[in-house]
Chain A
Amino acid sequence: MTLPTQTLARLLLAPLLVLAAGMLVKGYTDVGDGFAAGLLAAVGFVLQDVAFGQRRAESLLPVRWAYRLALGGLGLALAVAVAPMLAGEPVLKHRPEPGVSPVKVGTLELITPVLFDVGVCLLVLGTVVTGLHLFAHPGEEEEQRS
Chain B
Amino acid sequence: MILLLAATVGTLFGSGAYLMLKPDLLRIVAGLVLVSNAAILALLAAALDRGRAPILPLGDGAVSDPVVQALALTGIVIGLAVAALLFVLAYQVYATSETIDLDELSQLETRREQELEQEEVSV
List residues of A whose CB falls within 8 A of some B CB. Answer: 29-31, 35, 131, 135, 138
Q: Which chain A positions have C-beta within 8 A of B73? A: 35
B91 and A138 contact, CB distance less than 8 A = yes
Across the interface, do B84 and A131 meet the contact criterion of CB distance under 8 Å?
yes
Determine if B55 is an interface residue (Cβ-Cβ < 8 Å). yes
How many residue pairs, one in A and one in B, have C-beta atoms under 8 Å apart? 12
Which of B55, B77, B84, B95 interacts with A138 by CB under 8 Å? B95
Contacting pair A29 B77 (CB below 8 A): no
Q: What are 12 A-B interface contacts by the 8 Å CB criterion? A: A29-B56, A30-B56, A31-B55, A31-B56, A35-B73, A35-B77, A131-B84, A135-B87, A135-B88, A135-B91, A138-B91, A138-B95
Chain B: interface residue count, which band? under 10
| A135, closest chain B residue (CB) | B87
Interface 1/0 per residue, B64-89 and A, CB below 8 Å: 00000000010001000000100110
Contacts of B87 in A (CB 8 A): 135
State the B residues within 8 Å of A (CB). 55-56, 73, 77, 84, 87-88, 91, 95
Q: Measured between alpha carbons, how far is A87 from B113 in the docked complex, in Å?
A: 58
**CB-defined contacts of B95 to chain A, threshold 8 Å:** 138
Closest partner residue, chain A, to B77 (CB atom): A35
Q: Which residues of B contact A135 (CB under 8 A)?
A: 87-88, 91
CA distance A89 to B71 in the complex (A): 25
Chain B's nearest CB lies how many Å from the CB of A64? 19
B92 nearest CB neighbor, chain A only: A138
Task: Report the separation of the CA atoms of residues A59 and B38 in the bound assembly, to the nearest whole angstrom.
Answer: 41
- A33 — nearest CB in chain B belongs to which residue? B73
- Give A120's nearest chain B residue, CB to CB: B77
Cβ-closest chain B residue relative to A30: B56
**A46 CA / B45 CA spacing, docked (Å):** 33
Q: How far is the CB of A124 from chain B (nearest CB, A)?
A: 8
